[in-house]
Amino acid sequence: CGGPADGAGRARRTVDADALVLATGAHDRVLPFPGWELPGVCTAGAAQALVKGERLVIGDRVVVAGSGPFLLAVAASLLEAGAGVQEVLEAGTPPALGRNWLDRPWELAAQLGKTAELARSAAALVRHRVPYRLGRAVVEARGDGRVEEVVTARLRPDWSVVAGTERTVPVNALCVGHGFSPRLELPLAAGCALRDGPAGTGSGSGPFVVVDGEQRTSVPGVFAAGEITGVAGAPAARAEGAVAGWAAAGGDRAVPALRVLRRSRDEGRAFARRLARAHPIGAGWPGWLRQDTVVCRCEETDYGTLCAAFGDAAQAAPRVAKLSTRAGLGPCQARVCGPTVAELRARSGAAGSAGRGTAAEPPEHALHRRPLAQPLRLGELAAPSEPFAVPEDPSDPTDQR
């Protein structure tokens, strides 16, 4: 449909293409904690989008927390726009980060652009005297009608809270981000095969679309590029998009420029693997939750309700639990809470915790299967489509008109 996503009277169009390149990107993943649904709490990506697109800052006393180098870039953007960043909290502990980022440092030489970007972001924090604390996280947000303070705590390597290390910080805004989730609705609708990401559910979590050296998927004529093939950053995504576009258009595979693009892409993929190893989500994070902690913000389903459903054999199956708790039935259709609910179900040992996947489709892949990739108005769904041309020979299975 053409026009704004929330507009009325959009025209439906059908495109008959020889090839299709999918580059649907990813969205932030945020782990729940008490108070994360308060106004003034937003994803790191949303905060950066407001700064870059509208030159708006979400507050003048901001804490940035979560995991991954993206936090540094967000904090630097906020500082440049005039926000008062109180501190940046990286949940990863120093031993794990050092082991993964400093191992084989010569491999990072291929990512000079990213290294320079991180250096500029770190320099911005130093200039503004913003503390960057490792092994610490926001475990609670508090406020009357909006966030007014956050509780931070030191974490063990598994992200469980070290008792007695809690500290309260006054804020009027909080940015949180724990990696990214690829947007796989269209690749799954097209029938593309997926692969699992690295262990953990952090910056490099999967599943991702399987592609070959030309960015072809398992479906003839369908190509994929960007975060849906692996979260590796903008330069790698641009290189993948160029390779996919060239191949989709039938370009000469021997063109010298393609070698440069492929090398850039492969270096980006190596960086993505390192990123995933360095910033996995610790297994102890559910210890942050209380019984009344909201997990599904759309439907206000709390942790206690989910635990009760997972503990009841009659409700534990994923589809039944979804209907009984309403987690994942709201406007986002489980895009935000889905991975969290699936992980909590698996940890509970509930019957049917494997999800609704099959031997051909693992449950973590089925999680991304939705009938609609974007919200549509009921009128658009009910509107008559273009006239259907009856095949000359209805019995011919190869006639797809």
The pairing of strands 136-142 and 149-154 is antiparallel
* Average pLDDT for 209-238: 93
pLDDT band (50, 70, 90) for residue 197: confident
List the domain boundaries for the chain. Answer: 20-26+181-278, 27-178, 291-366
Helix (H) or strand (E) run with residue 74 in it: helix 70-80
pLDDT band (50, 70, 90) for residue 7: confident
pLDDT band (50, 70, 90) for residue 390: very low
Of 384 and 343, more confident: 343
pLDDT band (50, 70, 90) for residue 355: very low
Q: Is the pLDDT reported for residue 281 higher than 70?
A: yes
Query: For residues 286 and 283, what is the distance between their CA atoms, to the nearest angstrom?
Result: 8
* The pLDDT of residue 276: 82
Q: Is the pLDDT reported for residue 40 higher than 70?
A: yes
Yes or no: say if 194 and 204 are a contact pair by the CB < 8 Å rule: no
pLDDT band (50, 70, 90) for residue 203: low
Mean of the per-residue pLDDT values of the chain: 84
The 10s digit of each residue's pLDDT in 329-347 is 888 888 889 889 988 988 8
Yes or no: say if 176 and 62 are a contact pair by the CB < 8 Å rule: no
* Average pLDDT for 51-65: 92
Of residues 183, 229, 197, 180, the one with CA closest to residue 66: 180
Say what the pTM is. Answer: 0.84
pLDDT band (50, 70, 90) for residue 16: confident
Of 346 and 192, more confident: 192
Of residues 166, 98, 96, the one with CA closest to residue 138: 166
Q: Is the pLDDT reported for residue 105 higher than 70?
A: no
* The pLDDT of residue 359: 47
Query: For residues 196 and 359, what is the distance between their CA atoms, to the nearest angstrom?
Result: 14
Q: Is the pLDDT reported for residue 388 higher than 60?
A: no
Fold of 27-178: FAD/NAD(P)-binding domain (3.50.50)
* Average pLDDT for 283-288: 94
Q: Is the pLDDT reported for residue 21 higher than 90?
A: yes
